[in-house]
Amino acid sequence: EGTVIGSCHARHRHQEFRQFLNVLDADTPPDVEVHAIVDNYATHKHPAIQRWLTRHPRFHLHFIPTSASWLNLVEVWFAHLTKAQIRRGDFLGVRDLTDAIQAYIHNYNQQAGPFIWTAPAERILAKVMKCRAISESLH
């Protein structure tokens, strides 16, 4: 449906990611499968996260290839957030910035809709294959 569930944290450890997963679990109907597209940051692969996922089988993490953040549609959403709320903003501190982000999420959700790929699937898949080939050649 396009609703954004977001939170701001001072750190990006597995503990904060697990808190976010708990919020997703609470805010998503129990009969809905959750597919999260995440980067290859170690936080998402931590053993505590793997245990959490084992206990919550409706959650599925999909890892985007390294150096392919353009595949992650959340980057598009972050660009909208930056342009509409953060750039040229005047924030007295982190709390002001966090409040502005939460206000943007609230306002965005009043008229939320899903992001839709505008490129043909063939072009997207070709880029994925190219990224995979590059990534595999580096290992």
Residue 97 lies in a domain: yes
pTM beyond cutoff 0.85 = no
Residue 96 lies in a domain: yes
Residue 87 lies in a domain: yes
> CA–CA separation, 76 vs 71, rounded Å?
9
Instruction: Count CB neighbours of 74 within 10 A.
Output: 16
Predicted pLDDT at 50: 95
Residue 5 lies in a domain: no
The structure tokens 């390294």 sit at: 66
> CA–CA separation, 40 vs 32, rounded Å?
24
Q: How confident is the model over 29-56, as pLDDT tens digits? A: 999 999 888 877 788 899 999 999 999 9
Residue 6 lies in a domain: no
Residue 1 lies in a domain: no
Number of domains in the chain: 1
- Domain with 104 in it: 14-138
Q: How confident is the model over 51-66, as pLDDT tens digits? A: 999 999 999 988 877 7
Residue 53 lies in a domain: yes
